[in-house]
Chain A
Amino acid sequence: MSAPTVPAAGAETTAPPRPRRSALARFARNREAVLGFAVIAAVVAVSVLAPWLAPHDPNAADAESVLAPTGSAGHLLGTDEQGRDVLSRLLYGGRTALVVSVVSVTAALVAGTAVGLFAAFAGRRASGALMRLVDLMFAFPVILVALSLAAVVRPGAWVLAGTVVFGAVPYVARIVFAEARVEREKDYVEAARSLGASEAAIVCTEVLPNLASSVVIYGTSLVGVNIVFTASLSALGLGVQPPDADWGRMISEGAKVLVTGSPGVATFPALAVLLVALAFNWLGDGLRDVLNP
């Protein structure tokens, strides 16, 4: 044990600041985050490059080789009921789901954050009315939104997008509202006010930076959730329409042959969905550790 030394009054102030590790370095050390990021980057790259990578036209039916088993020559992952190459369809099948999920969740994050922040700083009545509206959206089972939208605009990518936004906005708004209410009561908000900041400046430059990491973390895992969700909607026939390749549709199209000896047709897209969703979850969890040390 070292000999006790008496801290002189004010000694704490003399230490010069030490260099610190950047957020990027912390990210690189976080295995979960890196793994999630790598998987997502790979899937995005494959989806973008699908026209060059795919061995076959995803919609070309080959009557010669219907339901070829996994590993057959020319069809690495086999073919489906109509003789379409499963691997090629798999490479194309993530495009709509990824774009719809990322874009819709981003839109929902922006809208939900705006609503939550506004409600947190608005007067009691405005905030009460707004949050009741949010609760109303919260109360509406999302599948009903999908069904109603499908009745209005016909099944397709817009139904997926609308449903994801509608489902995600109230979640984001509630989280932002709850966190902003906590932040609002902290002294730094009052300190900013005493230092002449306007309410708008307080919300945008003081409080928002404190919520940003939560929103990003939450948004990342929301993308994962919605990849799975949109796949289910498409499987139900509310999303991507045939003949376009889509993981969700491939699952429902492969359903008929799953029990009759061709499990791969439905299982490969299901595994793709699982992998991508897990990757977003890992990235979200990893970001939580990186952004909230």
Chain B
Amino acid sequence: MARRILWRLVNVVPLLFVISLLVFFISQAGPADPVRGALSQKMSPAQIEQIRQAYGLDRPAWAQYLSWLKDMVAHGGGVSLSLRSPVSGIVFPAFRNTLLLVAGATLLTVVLGVAIGFVAGIRHGRLADRVTMLLVQVGSNLPIYWLGLIIIYLTAVERRWLPAGGMHDLRGDGGFGDLLLHLVAPSFAASLVSTLIIARFVRAAVIESERSDYVRTYRSQGFGRAAILGKHVGRNVLPPIVNITGLTVGSVITGVVFVETIFSWPGIGSVLLNAIAASDYPVIQSGVLLVAVTFVLVNLATDVVLDLLNPRLRHGAA
């Protein structure tokens, strides 16, 4: 058990290394010279060379990689080329906002996805199941951008239930309740696709588990359906649910980036899109690396939880 978890930890290291390499090469492979892109005024070649040296762009690639990595780890990247301020000051606050939205969306994804999937699964083949699954199919194929607009229209324009965007009410006190209110609509929009993935998955797992031989055993024993669903079906669909939840965090992050611009959420998505427009590589790299590393850690946590849930591992293989 401990050995297995340790093995998983060890496995993460090469993964992080490869990701960091790929992210590093974004600036190497880019078509725009970062210096030239940043400084559009006329400059003498000597001046440009001077700046290149200042940024360390004249050294061999591996040396640049090492100092780049050191920089990344120590203080979250260098200096933004377009904003001329430390990358960490731009990326970290935006990433914190994004994490907030990811957390909200993940929570909604799991709660709604499991609930919808469970209900559809136990009503399998009935009207409730068919209607739900039709909605799921339509919902997962709606363009998220348009859906976000419709949500804003319905909840903020037509009825003034929720704020139309942003993180805080400009006139309000910026308290926690206000933040929550601003979180609802973007979280929902960002979670939708993942919610539907989970719902479909949970439904299938519930149906399969209800058809299993062991559930038949407990039915033959006279246990009520509720007891069997709660204990045996619940326990056996838990590991696949944890697994799929870990995997959908990636699609939640994708959803969040899509949604941020629609809801004017000051997150990493908008920062990255602006940085791309300005060829601001330090910001792009720092942002991408931050999100990627977070994702890898979430997956690691999922795997460890799955190991802990598996009685075969807890009690030694047969």
A and B bind: yes
Q: Are A248 and B143 within 8 A (Cβ)?
A: yes
* CB pair B146 A151 closer than 8 Å: no
Q: A139-B295, A141-B254 are in contact. Are A273 and B143 (CB under 8 A)?
A: yes
Find chain A residues with CB under 8 A from B254 CB: 141-143
Interface-located stretch among A13-21, A183-191, A195-203, A232-240: A232-240
* Interface set, chain B 212-235, CB cutoff 8 A to A: none
Which stretch, B69-77, B122-130, B273-281, B310-318, touches the partner chain A?
Answer: B273-281
Q: Are A151 and B142 in contact (CB under 8 A)?
A: no
Question: Which residues 132-158 of A sit at the B interface, judged by CB distance below 8 A?
Answer: 132, 135-136, 138-144, 147-148, 150-155
Q: Is the interface of B mostly helix, strand, loop or mixed?
A: helix
- List chain A residues, Cβ under 8 A from B276: 147, 150-151, 155, 238
Q: Give the dominant DSSP class at A's interface.
A: helix
Task: Decide: B29 and A152 in contact? CB cutoff 8 A.
Answer: yes
**Interface residues in B2-43 (C-beta closer than 8 Å to A):** 11, 14-15, 18-19, 22-23, 26, 29-31
A260: nearest chain-B partner, CB-CB:
B157
Given A139-B250, A141-B254, A274–B143 Cβ distance below 8 Å? Answer: yes
CA distance in complex: A140, B19 (Å): 9
Evaluate contact between B146 and A277: CB separation under 8 angstroms.
Answer: no
Nearest-CB distance from B58 to chain A (Å)? 21
Is B209's beta carbon under 8 Å from chain A?
A: no
Asked if A259 is at the interface (CB within 8 A of a chain B CB), the reply is yes
- A139 and B137 form a contact (CB under 8 A): no
Q: A139-B250, A139-B295, A259-B153 are in contact. Are A154 and B31 (CB under 8 A)?
A: yes
Total number of A residues with any Cβ neighbor in B under 8 Å: 42
**Which of B226-261 touch A at CB < 8 Å?**
247, 250-251, 253-254, 257-258, 261
Say yes or no: A251-B279 contact (C-beta < 8 A), given A139-B250, A141-B250, A141-B254: no
Tell me which residues across on chain A come within 8 A of B31, comparing CB atoms: 152-154
Judged by a CB distance under 8 angstroms, whether B94 is at the interface is no
Is A278's CB within 8 Å of the partner chain B? yes
- A44 interfacial by beta-carbon distance below 8 Å: no
Q: Is B107 an interface residue (CB 8 A)?
A: no
Interface residues as binary, A158-199 with B (CB distance below 8 Å gives 1, 0 otherwise): 000000000000000000000000000000000000000000
9 A–B contact pairs at CB < 8 A?
A: A141-B295, A231-B143, A231-B145, A238-B276, A251-B143, A259-B149, A269-B146, A270-B146, A274-B138
The 4 closest A-B CB pairs, nearest first, are: A270-B146, A277-B141, A235-B145, A143-B254
| B positions within 8 Å CB-CB of A | 11, 14-15, 18-19, 22-23, 26, 29-31, 137-138, 141-146, 149-150, 152-153, 157, 247, 250-251, 253-254, 257-258, 261-262, 269, 272-273, 275-276, 279, 281, 284, 287-288, 291-292, 295-296, 299
A142-B251, A143-B253, A259-B149 known; 5 other A-B pairs, CB under 8 Å? A138-B250, A147-B288, A251-B149, A270-B146, A273-B143
